[in-house]
Amino acid sequence: MANVSGSSPYLGEVPKPAGVTAARKALDSGILKGVPVAVKDIIVTADGRKSTAASKMLEPYESPYDATVVRKIVEAGAEVIGKTNLDEFAMGASTENSALGKTVNPWDPTRVPGGSSGGSAAAVAERSAPVGLGTDTGGSVRQPAAFCGVVGMKPTYGRVSRYGLIAMASSLDQAGTLTTNVADAATALGVIAGPDPLDATSVDRPVPDYRKALTGDVKGLKIGIPKEYFEVEGGAKDGGVQSEIEEAVEQAKEDLKKSGAEIVDVSLPHTKYAVSVYYLVMPAEASSNLARYDGIRYGHSVEREGSWQGSLEDVYFQSRAQGFGPEVKRRIMLGTYALSAGYYDAYYKKAMQVRTLITRDFEKAFKDADLLLTPTTPTTAFKLGEKSDDPLAMYLADIFTVPASLAGLPAISVPAGFDKAGLPIGLQLIGQHWDEETVLRAAHAYEQRHDWHVKEPPKPKEPQ
């Protein structure tokens, strides 16, 4: 089995289904009985497995309760086969920022699987599990789905309970699914969606039967192409769009047009500010959420090691210095600065105001279109270590996924072919609030025209 989970002990050898298995039949019938599910290790489970958020800060933690999404899939008959690797506290776009080790891309082990749900995406891509649970704050389900050639679904914020998700940014975090095809995404979303009295941000709305939306028919559907997504300055390394990805989007437009959809141009003028806004809002909320890990109430503590003689302030400082990795520290410092006296209005408040403008852009665009079509990522999977010393380049890997997250919109990434190096390309469809049905409908119709979703990564070579 490919090394999809780095040094994580949680996702071990899992027997791969051969032919039409009971799991496959279960998914096809719209239930999860007997289906293996891999769970991102930022979603807590009460099954004796650790819930670490891939951080030394939570290294020994075992949750006394299941996250609501875990409880729902278990009640639907699924089997949690293990916890998967991620960027520490979901802060990253490559699954390299993990105390458990790096995760590699099953299509090319010299490249990243994306992040932060890279472990779940890699597990689904290499067929260790037909369903993976992840979380998407700024693209952490959709971006790794694109890099690993699988389907990544982020529902509307509030559609799925966040209870039991170890919090990073509370106004952005949302549980999502990773699957090999759109039908499985519809099935899994139908199981985990719905209101939850344990999560005040979940919304009491009826959950449709998403599988009924998979008609294969997109006739009359208006699909918007936001011009700003193709006007990113610079080459691919600077946030521009890789030529093969542009070609894939152009081909997708033609495919959907041939299927009966109408392609229209739309504008999202504040898109250019989305990454800047995200990297103020998200670190600010992360700084607040992670303040609880102080070495006294929660998390790694130098005092509990038995020989510490320092002051209380020293316990705080040393515990957090040892418990958090470099990227988490970077974002905590950025967020704390943005929230500090004298800077709050200039940074966090202003970012929230621009976030509102980004949301209004989408609302205006949806007056002319039923959903939007964009690339998922500006490039295909990059090399391990390629962007580790350049945080800005790493942040730009989420340039096309962040806007929908800021607006709380549902979005999906589906396989859209391969580049010249044989690496998967992802196509993103963004829908209106609470309209996951149209997103899934269009994604499924597009998927039916190709066989990219059934292609599997090359088998790893046996060690000599």
User: CA-to-CA distance for 115 and 327, rounded, in angstroms?
Assistant: 13
Residues 402, 412 contacting (CB under 8 angstroms): no
Residue 23: pLDDT band (50, 70, 90) is: low
Q: What is the pLDDT, as a whole number, of residue 302?
A: 85
> Crossing angle, helix 436-447 and helix 243-258, to 10 degrees?
100
Q: What is the pLDDT, as a whole number, of residue 19?
A: 37
Residues 122, 105 contacting (CB under 8 angstroms): yes
Q: Which of 5, 8, 40, 117 is catalytic?
A: 40
Main-chain phi, psi angles of 106, to 5 degrees: -60, -25
Residues 425, 431 contacting (CB under 8 angstroms): no
Q: Which of 5, 63, 116, 120 is catalytic?
A: 116
Q: Measured over all CA atoms, what is the biggest interatomic distance in the chain, rounded to whole angstroms? A: 72
Q: Which of 5, 8, 63, 140 is catalytic?
A: 140
Give yes or no for residue 9 having a pLDDT over 50.
no
Q: What is the pLDDT, as a whole number, of residue 3?
A: 34
User: CA-to-CA distance for 228 and 194, rounded, in angstroms?
Assistant: 33
Give yes or no for residue 12 having a pLDDT over 60.
no
Q: What is the pLDDT, as a whole number, of residue 296?
A: 87
**How would you label 101-132 residue by residue, b for 16+ Cβ within 10 Å and e otherwise?**
ebbbbbbbbebbbbbbbbbbbbbbbbbbbbbb
User: CA-to-CA distance for 384 and 284, rounded, in angstroms?
Assistant: 28
CATH numbers and ranges of domains, the chain: 22-266+360-454 (3.90.1300.10), 277-349 (no CATH)
Q: What is the pLDDT, as a whole number, of residue 306?
A: 63
Is 388 noted as a catalytic residue in this protein? no
Write the pLDDT tens digit of every residue in 184-232: 999 999 999 999 999 999 999 999 999 999 999 999 999 999 999 988 6
Per the prediction, the chain carries an average pLDDT of 91
DSSP-based three-state secondary structure for 38: strand
User: CA-to-CA distance for 442 and 371, rounded, in angstroms?
Assistant: 9
Residue 303: pLDDT band (50, 70, 90) is: confident
Is 140 noted as a catalytic residue in this protein? yes
Write the pLDDT tens digit of every residue in 334-353: 999 999 999 999 999 999 99
**Residue 426 is which amino acid?**
G
**How would you label 55-86 residue by residue, b for 16+ Cβ within 10 Å and e otherwise?**
bbbbeebebeebbbbbbbbbebebebbbbbbb
Please give the helix or strand (H or E) that residue 124 lies within, else none.
helix 118-125
Residue 5: pLDDT band (50, 70, 90) is: very low
Give yes or no for residue 15 having a pLDDT over 50.
no
Is 98 noted as a catalytic residue in this protein? no
Residue 17: pLDDT band (50, 70, 90) is: very low
Query: What tokens does 425 get?
Result: 């390309």
Query: What tokens does 360 get?
Result: 């209004």
Q: What is the pLDDT, as a whole number, of residue 310?
A: 77
Residues 103, 122 contacting (CB under 8 angstroms): yes
Cα torsion at 199, 203, 207, 211 (round to 10°)? -80
Nearest partner of 143 among 416, 412, 423, judged by Cα: 412
Give yes or no for residue 6 having a pLDDT over 90.
no
Give the contacts of 329 (CB within 8 A, at least 6 positions apart). 320, 321
Write the pLDDT tens digit of every residue in 125-174: 999 999 999 999 999 999 999 999 999 999 999 999 999 999 999 999 99
User: CA-to-CA distance for 156 and 405, rounded, in angstroms?
Assistant: 9
**How would you label 280-301 residue by residue, b for 16+ Cβ within 10 Å and e otherwise?**
bbbbbbbbbbbeebbbeebbbb
Q: Which strands sit side by side in the sheet containing 79-84, from one edge to the other?
A: 79-84, 36-40, 131-135, 175-179, 151-154, 411-418, 424-431, 371-375, 222-226, 262-266
| HEC string for 265-318 | EECCHHHHHHHHHHHHHHHHHHHHHHHHCCCCCCCCCCHHHCCCCCCHHHHHHH
Residue 240: pLDDT band (50, 70, 90) is: confident
Work out the average pLDDT over 361-386.
Answer: 98
